[in-house]
Amino acid sequence: MPNLSLGSELAFRQLEQRTRRYFLGECATGLGALWLAGSNQTASAQGDATTATAALHHVPRAKRVIFLHMIGGPSQLELFDHKPELVRFDGKQCPKSFIESQQFPFIRGIPNMMGPQYPFAQHGESGAWVTDRLPHFSQVVDDVCFIKTMQTDQFNHGPAQLMVHSGQARIGAPSIGSWVTWGLGSENENLPGYIVLLSGGRPPRVGKSLWGSGFLPSVYQGVQCRSQGDPVLNVSNPQGVTRDARRLALDSLRRLNERNHQLFGDPETLTRIAQYELAFRMQETVPEAMDLSAEPEHIHQLYGAEPGKVAFANNCLLARRLIERGVRYVQLFDWGWDSHGSSEQQAINVGFRDKCREADKSMSALLIDLKQRGLLEDTLVVWSGEFGRTPMRESRNGERKFVGRDHNPHAFTLWMAGGGVKGGTTYGETDDMGYTAALDPVPLRDFHATLLHLLGIDHTRLTVPFQGLNQKLTTVIPARVIDKVLS
Amino acid sequence: MPNLLPCRVLLISTVFLAETVFLTGFGVLHAEDRAVDVTKTDIATVQFATVQFAKDVRPILNEHCVACHGGVKQAGELSFGYKEHVFGPRESGGPIVVPGDPDASELIRRITTDDDTERMPPVDEHPEGLSAEEIATLVQWVRQGAEWGEHWSFVRPVRQPLPVVADPDWCRQRIDQYILARLEQEGLAPVPDAAADRWLRRVTLDLTGLPPAPVKRIRFIEDVREQGEEAYAVAVERLLDSPHFGERWASVWLDLVRYADSKGLGLDGRRSIWKYRDWVIDAFNRDLPYDQFTVEQLAGDLLPEATMDDLIATACHRSTQSNEEGGTDDEQFRVEAVVDRINTTWQVWQGLTFGCTQCHDHPYDPLRNIDYYHFMAFLNNTADSDLNSDAPLLQTPLDPSDYETARKLDQQMEAAEQTLWQTGRKLVTDQSLWLPVRGLEAAATDDTEMAVEPSEEGDQYYTVGTVYKNTGFVLNAPLPEELAQLTALRFTAFPLDPQASLANPEWGFVLSHLKAELVTPDSEEPVVIEFAHVIGDEPRPLLDPQLSLNAEHDDGFAAFSRIHHPRTAVFVLKHPVAVAPTTRLRVTLEFKRSSGGSHPLVARRGSLATSGDAQWTSWLNDAQLTDTRKTLAQLQERRKAIPSVALPVMRDRPENIARPTYRFDRGNYLNKAEQVSAGTPSVMPPLATEGVPNRLDFARWLVSDENPLTARVAVNRFWAQLFGIGLVETQEDFGSSGEPPSHPALLDDLAVRFSEDMNWSVKQLLREITLSSTYRQAAVIRSDIRERDPRNRLLAHGPRNRLPAETVRDQALAVAGLLSEKLHGPPVHPPLPAGVWDPFQAADKWTTAERNDENRYRRSIYVYMKRTIPYPMFASFDTPSREFCTVRRITSNTPLQALMTLNDATFEEAATALGRRMLAGAETLPEQLKFGLRLSTGREPSADEVAELESLYQQLLEQQPQAQQEPAAETSEEEERVTPEEQAMAIIAGVLLNLDEVLTK
């Protein structure tokens, strides 16, 4: 598509019609190769990965994204944000300035400060500080760029998760993956361009809205793939319908539809024929892509994956397989990082510890595996929660056994690795308590602008008119690309 | 500084420029434009002698100027949105425009000057600048007198003269004349009429969302043969009378009002609001005029003699999202709901992007930031406040035949409650009856720190710093000296900061229990005071104040969940108690409730007063009031006996505790600016009212004759449903940034006739359109038209669009003979792919209706609509997930849709049933196939289609042995014996259900 900033839907539609007419009329080989309804995918439909990115605003450093979202808000103070001063304040009353005119979901009164619950050490050539909860991850820190000063303006999970993925706190705006696939398309005509994988036993609370296409056409919404049952809804034939029988049926369907097209001359009919053919191919490609048993044993061991299970480790490995096949945007959600200290699962000293053990190996394996396959160069891996946690202890109802922290929108750690990111670096500095940004705060919109920049997109030009406004992922507030994290 | 000499030179050059353009430029532009997009010709056909502001000038200003000189950014204090800015005096320099004098107009000077530093638009940001044509248009406009016109849609529509057409015989309805005139003007001929049965399928799907039954088709073809044109009218009448008419059109409306059966954000728990959905279905079925339809939904509760239906209608704006997540701020999400109601109202009824003005003046339209908040004042005082209970709720009888009885009982109960409350309240507000309590000592039962300060109305306790959940306060004080006996105790709760809380209300309180004791120094045992009754400060509180007397119950007298004003409750003693001068009063207040398990609801400031007046006791024992109480109890019993479901509805808070409305600085609800009163935007016609206007006044204003938009927006929406695209394509934006209408005269004429001649009858409107020649045309897209008008805006052929999600599913069930025609009722749960149902709130179960349960086969409008887990079939076919108002669905065409209609359980079941129906419906294979084709396409099949399917059938049968070798699939609800013939026919039926023709109307 010549222009990412579409003037109006009218223009969009006309272009769509025009390309489709060209495509269907004069380019017969392309029949059925329209994954995205003939919008901006005609180039990639030919299977040529380079043409899909021909319309970029500048040379991209990353071609695809894997986003690991730890649902609940993992504690930066027990993972990456080393705060030795906080140790000294452990158990002391929190300064008034921390709680004055602040809203917390659960902290009431004057809470006590709480020191880091796990020891930190420096790792790699870069000397990045990581806790002892992540022994595997400590080995790959030189590929990672930490942003310690992420900020959001929402302190409840639902709105904050929406902020991370759509830039807005309310449901109804497109998610990052939708913007990206809308702008860039997919590199594989037989797989969805935007795939979502869930683990942790619960879905994120705002559900599908986190991978919704908002006011972009619905083809750009994320497609949830599953490790159990049909990997994509209805990808299996009904009982008793063989693939051969389906082929026969689709041939008949095509001939009848072609006849219909001759009668009415509606280009939509040709698109529909193409989509049925693609669906047929997807019935093979999707299960193949999602089949972990095809991976050798040492890879399973690297990730800690167990085929057939719904697990974060499996999803990390799947993410690599999907990326390898040209999927543009893979979004993982792993539930269970909301460490309030109000129950065993939510305790930093119990549930959080277990979550770290589960995630450490697989997220590190993902980086190692991508790197050894040469994919890390142009694949961007992002790891984040929706907010951070307070340096104050939350002790709801006087809880003593379990240790936890409340939500903190003022500072959380996000890390990136791969395509175009300067590995072995840290950006931003929090205050001595790790409560808020002391140096270089990064609002989510700046992260969004940076992510798009890495993909070759100028965030100010990826817009779509809706409700009287040229809507952007970075919203109406000015955003900036964080140059210092770029390699 | 303006320099005269260059200006004069320039004037000459602009005239020259303009005329050159007139002679050559426009011709070229016009021809090019026509080739690209016929709809643009309206704008492009600028006749030089008659430059029109709205048509010719406004688009130029919008495109090039308002980004800096608009509503948002008013650089140099100039916005081209406002007349006074353009013509008024300016602090520096002359006016922007001097009518009739381009030479003296700063606008013209600045767009024509050679000085790069002065020329507009600035060359660095707009290298392309204004074209010669655009400059010429602006110059001509000023020379002509710079007539200023409001954007077309802000001007009230008037009846339009019928255009003259060359072929009047083609026109069956008035609308046809406008369509044909335009086609003739473009040199296009309409496509001939569709075959009778194809028209029947189209109109049946459009009006009822279901395909025509084969028997209806045969009868119709006969009727056409016998009665001709009359048969069409009869068919439309039959469809308009069908109960399925309402189901079809309700689903359109439910997108607009973002109807869902769940609450959205946070936990997305179930919300029981389906009675409203049924109301919408019925409203369409009984052809409730659109004006009443509007008023009842926006303000049915304020109508005099409101019926049960009127109240149910107000659930319309209770379908906003609410947030039940723990630790959330109710006020934030209450405000978000109000904002949503404002934006939705303006989108749905006015087709305006009013939401822009939440943060700033509208960038394109003459709507001001302040207008948003004046309008907010209409909606800001409803009693709902993002409560988990969804209160206020209306007990809606399950059986509509109980509506009248129930409503009558409710009215009697309300009257009784009013009487009781008002007689009590009269005493409460009689200051002479009260003696304030002074010398108060206050202590908390936990770590909460307390203090006391005196005030004129007695001492006030207040909390210092943090308050905790489950806290209790013990208040100790001497009784007022004058007091000889105690008959009533008054508790007043205040916001901690009463002034600030008006704008930014603090968390409220729930007084879970109040205990009062008399402590006399001599006696050891304090005397517990027995209360008989609590009089709160509103006639119909969300929580029952009487519960403050019940130690076992957490509810009671409350400001739930925010406090704006002082709140008063009076506790009336069962019997007067004599008090000695040394007697002290000890009152224990308990607060056990919190919001979202997090914010304690505690009265952080309060005072006490006592009364010894005998009136309290007589109020308590008054024979008439006692009777009223008895009657009330009986009424409540009778009401309880009517099986009902609780429905969230609109209700205003009483005046004494009304929420004031403030403008939000930059749209942020935490930053309140000046207080505002209710009103409509100044650019719109004035709102006629006596006194302070309310929601009802606003609703009536919307449908008044003077409102320029309501009828236009409505007819355009119905038009778009039938033709796939509106006369105004941007149904959501009739403002100056939206698309202009393709047929302005038709739109206006239809709008005026809809509101006046048709009395807002939707059925009459749809009757006229569906009986028109425009609608009757075949859906054949001729190649010349496909090139020239790919989107069929000129309507040179009949509509051809993919069916909406609901219709795709309902049609499959109907064709298969599975569809249940049952109307109304709670949401249903048809089959769902495994793994989809994984709600955050585990209690929200999806129990799939079994095969013997007709709820499995109900129409799609009844399927449980959960916002965070949309029904997969609907989601893949572009149904919005109803988080916000969706004005139009954008139709997509994807492989996921193919997988859905090929493999999904519902479609598999439909294919199997259709296959069996075909086998049972005829003796021979060709007849069976023809039967299936007729059922699915609603027309007579051709020989080659039958041959195609026959050949498929044979091939499938030949393949069968292979098929049986396949391992059996793991999941099957019922192991039914399927014969090879049935299997083959089911696959063929699947082909039929997936035909492009079947998925399309």
Q: How many beta carbons lie within 10 A of that of residue A217, not counting itself?
A: 23
Q: Is residue A47 part of a domain?
A: no
Q: How far is B1001 from B996, CA to CA, in rounded Å?
A: 9
Q: Are strands B599-600 and B594-595 parallel, antiparallel or unpaired?
A: antiparallel
Do both A283 and A407 map to the same domain? no
Q: Edge-to-edge strands of the sheet including B513-519?
A: B441-444, B472-478, B584-590, B513-519, B527-528
Residue B595 structure tokens: 């919001």
Average pLDDT over residues B134-151: 86
Tell me which of B198, B201, B263, B265 to substitute to probe the interface with A (most A C-beta atoms closer than 10 Å). B265
Check CB contact of A213 with chain B, cutoff 8 Å.
Answer: no
In A, minimum Cα distance to B833 occurs at A233
Kindly report the nearest CA distance between residue A63 and chain B, in angstroms: 24
Q: Is B328 on the interface with A (CB under 8 A)?
A: yes
* B268: chain A residues, CB-CB within 8 Å: 205-207
The residue among A341 and B257 whose pLDDT is bigger is B257
Q: Do residue A271 and residue A419 come from a single domain?
A: no
CB contact under 8 A, A108 and B469: yes
Measured CA to CA, the distance from residue B865 to residue B881 in angstroms comes to 8
Residues within 8 A of B (CB atoms), A 368-407 only? 397, 407
The single-letter DSSP state of residue B317 is: G
Q: How many CB pairs under 8 A join A and B?
A: 264
| pLDDT tens readout for residues B901-950 | 999 999 999 999 999 999 999 999 999 999 999 999 999 999 999 999 99
Interface contact B735, partner A, CB < 8 A: yes
Residue A308 near chain B (CB below 8 Å):
no
Domain count for chain A, please give it.
2
Chain A contact for B947 (CB, 8 A cutoff): no
Query: What are the structure tokens assigned to B146, written together?
Result: 């710079």
Which one of A194, A268, A346, A470 makes the best mutation probe of the B interface by having the most chain B beta carbons within 10 Å?
Answer: A268
Same domain, A84 and A217: yes
CA distances from A61 to A363, B96, B906 (A): 21, 49, 45
B764 has a pLDDT exceeding 90? yes
What average pLDDT does this structure show over B658-680? Answer: 92
Within-domain flag for A412: yes
Strand segments (E) across B326-411: 393-397
pLDDT higher than threshold 50 for residue B747: yes
Given CB atoms, is A436 within the 8 Å cutoff of chain B?
no
What is the DSSP annotation of B796-811? SS----BPPHHHHHHH
Structural domain contains residue A466: yes
Query: What's phi and psi for B838, nearest 5 deg?
Result: -140, 65
Test the B interface: residue of A34, A36, A156 with most B CBs within 10 Å:
A156
Peptide bond into B561 cis (omega under 30): yes
Helix (H) or strand (E) holding B278: helix B274-285
pLDDT reported for residue B843:
87
Can you tell me the distance from the alpha carbon of A183 to that of A41, in angstroms, rounded to the nearest whole number? 10
Is the pLDDT reported for residue B22 higher than 50? no
Residue A267 located in a structural domain:
yes
Report the chain B residue with the minimal C-alpha distance to residue A210: B868
pTM, full prediction: 0.83
- Which residue's structure tokens are 């009781």? B420
Contact B995 A260 (CB under 8 A): yes
Cβ separation B325–A172 shorter than 8 A: no
Q: Which of A148, A38, A139 is nearest to A82 (CA)?
A: A148
Residues of A in Cβ contact (< 8 Å) with B362? 468
Task: Could you list the beta-strand ranges (E) of B754-816.
Answer: none
**8 Å CB contact of B468 and A109:** yes
**Min Cα–Cα distance to chain B from A256, Å:** 7
Note whether A265 contacts B353, CB cutoff 8 Å.
no
Q: Which of A106, A109, A259 sits opposite B466 (nearest CB)?
A: A109
Q: Hey, are the CB atoms on B952 and A217 less than 8 Å from each other? A: no
- Give which of A125, A76, A91, A54 is closest to A414, Cα–Cα: A76
Question: Residue B961: which pLDDT band, with cuts at 50, 70 and 90?
Answer: low
Instruction: Using a CB–CB cutoff of 8 Å, tell me whether B944 touches chain A.
Output: yes
Which of A285, A467, A477 would best serve as a mutation to test chain B binding (most B beta carbons within 10 A)?
A: A467
What average pLDDT does this structure show over B954-973?
A: 63
The set of residues, in sequence order, having a beta carbon less than 8 Å from that of A81 and lying 6+ positions away, is: A129, A148, A388, A411, A413, A430, A434
Distance between CA atoms of residues A389 and A339, nearest Å: 8
Q: Shortest CA distance to A421 belongs to which of A379, A370, A362?
A: A379
User: Please, which pLDDT band fits residue B374 given cuts at 50, 70 and 90?
Assistant: very high
B677 band by pLDDT with thresholds 50, 70 and 90: very high
- In sequence order, the 6+-apart residues with CB closer than 8 A to the CB of B214 are B931, B934, B935
Q: List CB contacts (< 8 A) between A223 and chain B.
A: 896
Q: Any idea what the Cα angle at residue A32 is, between residues A27 and A36, rounded to 5°?
A: 100
Which residues 249-288 of B have a C-beta within 8 angstroms of A? 264-268
Q: For chain B, what percent of residues have pLDDT higher than 90?
A: 69
Which CATH number goes with the domain that contains A426? Answer: 3.40.720
Structural domain spans, chain B:
4-149, 426-639, 905-999
Quote the Cα angle for B402-B407-B412, to 5°.
130
Q: What pLDDT does A399 receive? A: 66
Per-residue 3-state assignment (H helix, E strand, C coil) for B240-307: HHCHHHHHHHHHHHHHHCCCCCECCCCCCCECCCHHHHHHHHHHHHCCCCHHHHHHHHHHHHHCCCCC
Residues A117 and A216 in one domain: yes
B33 shares contact with chain A (CB less than 8 Å): no
Query: What DSSP state is assigned to residue B22?
Result: I
- For residues A431 and A95, is the Cβ–Cβ distance under 8 A? no
| Among A36, A256, A468, beta carbon nearest to B363 | A468
* Cβ B268 vs Cβ B838: under 8 Å: no
> Residues 570..609 of B with a Cβ closer than 8 Å to A: which?
596, 598, 600
SS3 for A276?
Answer: helix
Pick the closest to residue B436 from B380, B407, B399, B477 (CA basis): B477
Domain assignment of residue A283, given as a range: 241-289
List A residues 162-191 in contact with B (Cβ-Cβ < 8 A).
170-172
The reply to whether A71 and A206 lie within a common domain is yes
Which residue in B348, B469, B789, B893 has the most chain A C-beta atoms within 10 A of its own C-beta, making it the best mutation to test that interface? B893
DSSP label of B810: H
Q: Identify which of B126, B106, B107 has the alpha carbon closest to the alpha carbon of residue B116.
A: B126
Rounded CA-CA distance B260/B279 in Å is: 14
Interface contact B995, partner A, CB < 8 A: yes
Q: Is residue A22 domain-resident?
A: no
Do A53 and A4 touch, CB atoms closer than 8 A?
no
Q: Does residue A225 sit in the same domain as residue A260?
A: no
Residues A353 and A248 in one domain: no
Q: How far apart are the first and last CA of chain B?
A: 65
If you measure CA to CA, which chain A residue comes closest to B466? A109
Q: What is the pLDDT of residue B667?
A: 86
The helices-and-strands tally (H runs, E runs) of chain A is 13, 17
> CA nearest A100 in B: which residue?
B465
CA dist B118 → B1, B113, B114, B123, B828 (Å): 10, 7, 8, 9, 66
Question: Given CB atoms, is B906 within the 8 Å cutoff of chain A?
Answer: no
Q: Considering only alpha carbons, which residue of chain B is nearest residue A103?
A: B329
**The CATH number of the domain covering residues in B426-639:** 2.60.120
SS3 B612: coil
Query: Region B780-791: what's the mean pLDDT?
Result: 83
Cβ contact B857:B830 at 8 Å: yes
Contacts of B601 in chain A (CB under 8 A): none
Residue B882 has pLDDT above 50, yes or no: yes
Task: Check: CB of residue A435 under 8 Å from CB of residue A411.
Answer: yes
State whether residue A97 sits within 8 Å of chain B by CB.
Answer: no
User: Which residues of chain A are modeled with pLDDT < 50?
Assistant: 1-54
Q: How far apart are CA B449 and CA B598, in angstroms?
A: 19
Residue A472 identity (one-letter amino acid): K
- Alpha carbons within 13 angstroms on the beta-carbon side of residue B454 total 3
Instruction: Identify which of B126, B185, B154 has the alpha carbon closest to the alpha carbon of residue B58.
Output: B154
Q: CA B716, CA B793: separation in Å to the nearest integer?
A: 13
Q: What b/e string do you get for A176-203 counting C-beta neighbours within 10 Å, with b at 16 or more? A: bbbbbbbbbbbbbbbbbbbbbbbbbebb
Residue B765's pLDDT is what? 98
Q: Which residue has the higher pLDDT, A3 or B831?
A: B831
Helix, strand, coil: what percent of chain B each, to 5? Answer: 45, 10, 40
pLDDT digits (tens, 9 = 90+) for B23-60: 222 222 222 232 223 333 333 333 445 788 877 888 88
> Hey, which residues does A334 pair with through a beta bridge?
A70, A199
Chain A residues with CB under 8 Å of B779 CB are: 264, 266
Question: Does the beta carbon of A299 lie under 8 angstroms from any beta carbon of chain B?
Answer: no
- Cis omega (within 30 of 0) for bond into B6: no
Domain match, A191 and A262 both: no
How far off is chain A from B535, nearest CA to CA, in Å?
32
Residue B34 phi, psi (nearest 5): -60, -40
Structure tokens at B604: 């952080």
> Are residues A347 and A354 in contact, defined by beta-carbon separation less than 8 angstroms?
no
Q: Is the pLDDT of residue B99 over 50?
A: yes
Which residues in chain B are closer than 8 Å to A245, comparing Cβ atoms?
956, 959, 963, 987
Compare B149 and A325 and report the one with higher pLDDT: A325
Assess whether pLDDT exceeds 60 at residue B280.
yes
**pLDDT greater at residue A207 or residue B459:** B459
Q: Identify from B255, B838, B902 which residue to disrupt to test chain A contact, counting A C-beta atoms within 10 A and taking the largest count.
A: B902
The string over B519-555, giving b where at least 16 C-beta atoms fall within 10 Å of a residue's C-beta and e elsewhere, is: eeeeeeeeeebebebbbbbbeebbbebbbbbeeeebb
**Residues B573-590: pLDDT tens digits?**
999 999 988 899 999 999
Indicate the burial class of B481 (C-beta count within 10 angstroms; 0-12, 13-18, 19 or more): exposed
Identity of the amino acid at B286: R
pLDDT reported for residue A398: 66
Element (H, E) at B407: helix B403-428
Closest CA to B458 of B413, B426, B502, B490: B490
Q: Quick check: A241 contacting B, CB < 8 Å?
A: yes
Q: Which residue has the tokens 């005329």?
A: B19
* DSSP conformational letter for B528: E
Is residue A270 located within the same domain as residue A311?
Answer: no
Largest CA distance in chain B: 111
Minimum-distance CB partner of A206 among B868, B968, B997: B868
Q: How far apart are CA B83 and CA B782, in angstroms?
A: 47
Question: Does A235 contact B903 at a Cβ distance shorter than 8 Å?
Answer: yes
